[in-house]
Amino acid sequence: MEIGYGMGEATWQIAKANSSTNYLGVEVHMPGAGKLMARLDEYELTNVRLIERDVFEVFYYMVKDSSLDGVHLFFPDPWPKKRHFKRRIVNERFLNDVHAKLKPGGYLHIATDWVPYAEWITEVFSNTKLFTGGVVDRPDWRPLTRFEGQGISKDHAVNNFRFLKA
């Protein structure tokens, strides 16, 4: 599952490289859906399904417990203003929901180019025993995303996290 696939550049590339694996893209803002669907059609990829819903609704109504191999969260909105921190997706509820939906040994991969958000992620995960893991190098399988490219062009440090269901 990829949460917040944006324009879908990582989604189609990962799906193309792993055509025998099924992927679910969840996004609340759909401008990128058309672009992603065009790429899926161009490469004749049939292993991706898209849902336009809030991920918490998807978790609650559409995804069985212990059914996901992995969850990707690449460059989520960091909501940098303190009054907006409550909108950040990485929080206790998110960890509980992801944990419930992952298979035993399943993973959560998060990437951000916003250092204060990376610190937030580290803090949120330090307060749970649901996952093990932390900062990792960018894996070869994860394509460069548009937001990542923009961050790199601004000399932002990119932080990758990999957490395993405990």
Other beta carbons within 10 Å of 69: 12
Q: Could you tell me how far CA 58 lies from the centroid of its own chain?
A: 14
Instruction: Report the CATH number of the 1-63 domain.
Output: 3.40.50.150
Domain definitions of the chain by residue range:
1-63, 66-166
Contact status, residue 150 vs residue 75, Cβ threshold 8 Å: no
Contact status, residue 24 vs residue 1, Cβ threshold 8 Å: yes
Closest CA relative to residue 27, chosen from 90, 94, 83, 72: 72
Q: Give the model's pLDDT for residue 164.
A: 99
Q: What are 101-116's pLDDT values in tens digits?
A: 999 999 999 999 999 9
Contacts of residue 89, defined as CB under 8 A and 6 or more positions apart, other chains included, come to: 3, 4, 55, 73, 76, 77
Q: What are 5-44's pLDDT values in tens digits?
A: 999 999 999 999 999 999 999 999 888 899 999 999 999 9
Which pTM was predicted? 0.94
Fold of 66-166: Rossmann fold (3.40.50)
Q: Give the model's pLDDT for residue 146.
A: 85
Give catalytic residue positions. 77
Q: pLDDT band for 121, please (50, 70, 90 cuts).
A: very high
Contacts of residue 49, defined as CB under 8 A and 6 or more positions apart, other chains included, come to: 22, 23, 24, 25
Are domains 1-63 and 66-166 of this chain identical in fold?
yes
